[in-house]
Chains A and B, each alone.
Chain A
Amino acid sequence: MSKSNRPPKDFGFGADEEMLRDLARKLLGERLPVDKLRTLVAEDHAAVYERHERQRWDEALWKEIVELGWTGLAVPEQDGGVGFKRAGIAGLVEEVGRFALPSPLVATLNATDVLAQAEGGRQWLARIADGTTATLAITNAVGSWELGEGDLSASEDGGNLVLDGAAYFVQDAFKADVLVVAAQCGGDRVLCAVPADSTGLSLVPDRIHDLTRDQATARFEGVRVAEENVVSRDAVGALERAWPSILVTVAADLVGCAEWQLQTTVQYAKDRKQFDRPIGFFQAVKHPLVNAMLDIDRARSLVYNAACAIDFDDPAEALKAARMAKSAASDAGAFISDRSVQLHGGIGFTWECDVHIFFKRSMHNQALYGDGVYQRKKLASTMIGEI
């Protein structure tokens, strides 16, 4: 896509993008209404938190999603994908967030965006377009989002690389066919595509709150990576170029999730009566929900702006727009999460009420790739200047 075009006024969200979004809304509305979601992921509180069973997800639904081609949306056309506009992907992911879909879609999109920026990523992109799932393994033990930091090292051995160490906070690791890994190799940071079944690679599940995904520490003990799977010798560059897309995708998930939280809480405020009136009559209930709506609207507009900037603007603008979107979406998500529990009263504090499912997905996404404060700190460096 040409970057010399002026960003379109409609963010590039045209008929095709709308059609996909509406299709996603319909499909997920039929297949994953909230009662089904609850049965799927939150039937029994002890399953995940005490017995440490893996978070459940609907693999049949996922097969359909793969057939619909959603995994290939971010894969460029010349690599066998759709090369869909970012605004269209944002629109789809908003729906994924709205239904809190447990799936490797977001992780795969994020990994795809990095592979698309790596010189040697093409063969993997083609596989992803065919339904291979992927995830990023780039984060160190303390959860730093600085792109040059990690706890994995690579050493040369013949034509191969050998990986040792660990990558932390790997999203939906147990659903991924391939891990996209950044490792320090002498003075270089290399990027490798490591199949999940590689010898020496083990996934240790993290105990997490979110019921709609899994997360793991990926341990590497002498994992051999064939030369064709060393997809870039400049991992930081590839990650940097992909970063706007990654932030926007997570922000879109947050926005969709937040809209569900808003609508659900508004509905409760209309239904629940106290003092002979629906509680939505009281301004201490009504006004914060209006504030949440305004925050969500801002985040949503900034998501589409950033999505559009990735396609049509220069990289610096795109990164700035994406950080704004992630900051706004994280904060909007935090605020409506807070009100969604509080305004449901006692029931909102229970396992029985659905709001906690979305609360946790949102909270997870708020932290992922940097919360609002973190994004603003980065923005300040470019907009105000380094200290």
Chain B
Amino acid sequence: MSTPNLTAEQIEFQEHARAWLAANPAPETQIDLPLSQLELAKREQVEYYREWQRSCYEAGLVGTDIAKEYGGHGHSGCQDIANREMSRVGAPFLLNTVGLSMMIPAVLKHGTEEQKRRFIPKALSAEEIWCQGFSEPGAGSDMANQQTMAVRRGEGWVVNGHKVWTSFGQFAKHMILLARTSRDHKYDGLSFFLCPVEGHAGVTVKPLVKMTGELGFNEVFFEDCVIDDSLRLDEVGKGWTVAMTVLTHERGAAEGAGGGIRAVHPIERLIGLAKSSQRGGGLAADDPVTRDAIIRQAIVHEGIRQDARRARVPALNDHPMRLPMGQGVVRTEFEQDCARLGVDIAGARSTLYKHDDAAPDNGYWPLAYMNSYALTIAGGSNEIQRNILGERILGMPKSK
């Protein structure tokens, strides 16, 4: 089976990736695995995924296109292939998403040689997990409204402030930190740091409990936390620019380096549920309204695949960013709508929590539904995404 338009290097790599994934399926485990990265809560889960990422890294599927001197494998145009192949076999997700999809692109673009050599290799192998410290109680959608202050002291900086919704904070060695270094300018008063977290004086990570009752993200307090100036990324006052580099990579993270979140085809899963659920005295799968709702989602699902395909055909794209930028909204709402539909189809049984033996699909649907709000809020809410699409793609005036 050959794919057209690939270079010799890419073809060889694709064969390698397929062979390796076929020979190295995700290890069996007794531990309770989460639905996605954002539901990671336990150490043992982290260790399972750390091990998986490490073996993918050693096999060349992670850090594929990154230069060898920074711990990568020095290929070109092969990371997408690796991601696609991992996704195709439903491989477990990669643990260190913030490291892979945010820190590394930012450091490659804005970092010093020393920073690249120090941070990239250990992020690739998942030895060091990263978290993202952008959001604050007063700075969510309006991200530039940062109040966390970094003040110059000698060779370093003293940080005080409060970050919220910090995913992976409880497992993280480092944080990409956006902080205010000047109160005189909203945007140009921001700077960017590669801040130590684990075991670092003045940094306290407190878990936050999500609406599902699960742990997931955290708040992080900085109290006279001292960091070295060598951990500053790009110039003082350039924090917003670096943050923009990060954000252009963030929304792509779920399908990009993340890879392989779902093992079961979402539509087949819904059909399976409908065939084992009752509605109005018959099977839900025979109810016309339910059938229509499922096929609607099937069309969206196929649309997502075909949008991705069309995005790679320049002649069928009048605006090069229209399809890529639209996908964030489409995909996250697809996940949400599918999960919600599963709740509807499950009917009375959707009330059951995952620890109830009668819960269909081990309680997947209501939990997936609730957790889907992570997708439509995190990384810039879908309302903000729609602003951006309306302004940057369709050219309508800025809403602010």
A and B from one complex: yes
Residues of A within 8 A of B (CB): 6, 8-11, 13, 17-18, 21, 91, 266, 269-270, 277-278, 280-283, 285-287, 289-291, 293-294, 297-302, 304-305, 321, 324, 327-328, 373, 376-377, 379-380, 383-385, 387
Task: Flag if B307 contacts A301 (CB, 8 Å).
Answer: yes
Interfacial residues of chain B within 275-311, with CB under 8 A of chain A in the complex: 275, 285-286, 288, 291-292, 294-296, 298-300, 302-304, 306-307, 309-310
Query: In the complex, what residue of chain A is closest to B296 when comparing beta carbons?
Result: A376
Interface of A is mostly: helix
How many angstroms from the CA of A356 to the CA of B398 in the assembled complex? 29
Whole-angstrom distance between the Cβ of A8 and the nearest chain B Cβ: 7
Residue among B5, B298, B396 with max Cβ neighbours from chain A (10 Å): B396
How many angstroms from the CA of A383 to the CA of B271 in the assembled complex? 9
Whole-angstrom distance between the Cβ of A105 and the nearest chain B Cβ: 21
**Which of B298, B302, B396 is A286 in contact with, Cβ under 8 Å?**
B396
Task: Flag if A301 contacts B397 (CB, 8 Å).
Answer: no
How many angstroms from the CA of A278 to the CA of B302 in the assembled complex? 36
Whole-angstrom distance between the Cβ of A256 and the nearest chain B Cβ: 12
Interfacial residues of chain B within 347-400, with CB under 8 A of chain A in the complex: 383, 386-387, 389-391, 393-399
Query: In the complex, what residue of chain A is closest to B303 when comparing beta carbons?
Result: A298
Task: Flag if A11 contacts B397 (CB, 8 Å).
Answer: no
**Which of A278, A286, A324, A377 is B291 in contact with, Cβ under 8 Å?**
A377
Task: Flag if A293 contacts B330 (CB, 8 Å).
Answer: no
- Known pairs A283-B386, A290-B326, A380-B295. 10 more at Cβ < 8 A? A9-B313, A13-B313, A13-B315, A285-B396, A286-B386, A286-B391, A293-B326, A328-B303, A377-B292, A380-B292
Task: Flag if A283 contacts B387 (CB, 8 Å).
Answer: yes
In the complex, chain B residues whose CB is within 8 Å of the CB of A302: 299, 302-303, 306
- Offer 14 A-B interface pairs, CB within 8 angstroms, sorted by A: A283-B387, A286-B386, A287-B386, A289-B390, A290-B326, A294-B389, A297-B323, A301-B303, A302-B302, A304-B313, A305-B309, A324-B303, A380-B288, A380-B295
How many angstroms from the CA of A294 to the CA of B328 in the assembled complex? 11
Whole-angstrom distance between the Cβ of B181 and the nearest chain A Cβ: 33
Task: Flag if B307 contacts A298 (CB, 8 Å).
Answer: yes
Query: In the complex, what residue of chain B is closest to A14 when comparing beta carbons?
Result: B315
Whole-angstrom distance between the Cβ of A296 and the nearest chain B Cβ: 10
**Interface assignment of B329: CB less than 8 Å from any CB of chain A:** yes
Task: Flag if B286 contacts A280 (CB, 8 Å).
Answer: no
In the complex, chain B residues whose CB is within 8 Å of the CB of A270: 395-397
Query: In the complex, what residue of chain A is closest to B313 when comparing beta carbons?
Result: A10
**Which of A6, A289, A298, A384 is B300 in contact with, Cβ under 8 Å?**
A298
Task: Flag if B310 contacts A11 (CB, 8 Å).
Answer: yes
How many angstroms from the CA of A384 to the CA of B398 in the assembled complex? 44
**Interface assignment of B274: CB less than 8 Å from any CB of chain A:** yes
Task: Flag if A301 contacts B285 (CB, 8 Å).
Answer: no
**Interface assignment of B322: CB less than 8 Å from any CB of chain A:** yes
Task: Flag if B316 contacts A269 (CB, 8 Å).
Answer: no
In the complex, chain A residues whose CB is within 8 Å of the CB of B296: 376
**Interface assignment of B30: CB less than 8 Å from any CB of chain A:** no
**Interface assignment of B3: CB less than 8 Å from any CB of chain A:** yes
Task: Flag if B300 contacts A287 (CB, 8 Å).
Answer: no
The verdict on A266 contacting B394 (CB below 8 Å), with A9-B4, A283-B386 known, is yes
The verdict on A298 contacting B330 (CB below 8 Å), with A377-B291, A380-B294 known, is yes
Task: Flag if B313 contacts A287 (CB, 8 Å).
Answer: no
Query: In the complex, what residue of chain B is closest to A385 when comparing beta carbons?
Result: B285
**Interface assignment of B152: CB less than 8 Å from any CB of chain A:** no
**Interface assignment of B186: CB less than 8 Å from any CB of chain A:** no
In the complex, chain B residues whose CB is within 8 Å of the CB of A91: 316
**Interface assignment of B312: CB less than 8 Å from any CB of chain A:** yes
Task: Flag if B299 contacts A286 (CB, 8 Å).
Answer: no
Task: Flag if B397 contacts A281 (CB, 8 Å).
Answer: yes
In the complex, chain A residues whose CB is within 8 Å of the CB of B302: 302, 305, 321, 324
Whole-angstrom distance between the Cβ of B204 and the nearest chain A Cβ: 38
In the complex, chain B residues whose CB is within 8 Å of the CB of A287: 383, 386-387, 390
How many angstroms from the CA of A88 to the CA of B7 in the assembled complex? 27
Task: Flag if A328 contacts B390 (CB, 8 Å).
Answer: no
In the complex, chain A residues whose CB is within 8 Å of the CB of B389: 290, 293-294
Whole-angstrom distance between the Cβ of B13 and the nearest chain A Cβ: 17
Task: Flag if A294 contacts B306 (CB, 8 Å).
Answer: no
In the complex, chain A residues whose CB is within 8 Å of the CB of B390: 280, 286-287, 289-290
Task: Flag if A283 contacts B399 (CB, 8 Å).
Answer: yes
Query: In the complex, what residue of chain A is closest to B306 when comparing beta carbons?
Result: A301
Task: Flag if A293 contacts B4 (CB, 8 Å).
Answer: no
Residue among A281, A289, A290, A300 with max Cβ neighbours from chain B (10 Å): A290
How many angstroms from the CA of A304 to the CA of B288 in the assembled complex? 28
In the complex, chain A residues whose CB is within 8 Å of the CB of B391: 286
The verdict on A384 contacting B5 (CB below 8 Å), with A294-B329, A298-B300 known, is no
Task: Flag if B393 contacts A13 (CB, 8 Å).
Answer: no
Query: In the complex, what residue of chain B is closest to A386 when comparing beta carbons?
Result: B286
Query: In the complex, what residue of chain B is closest to A259 when comparing beta carbons?
Result: B318
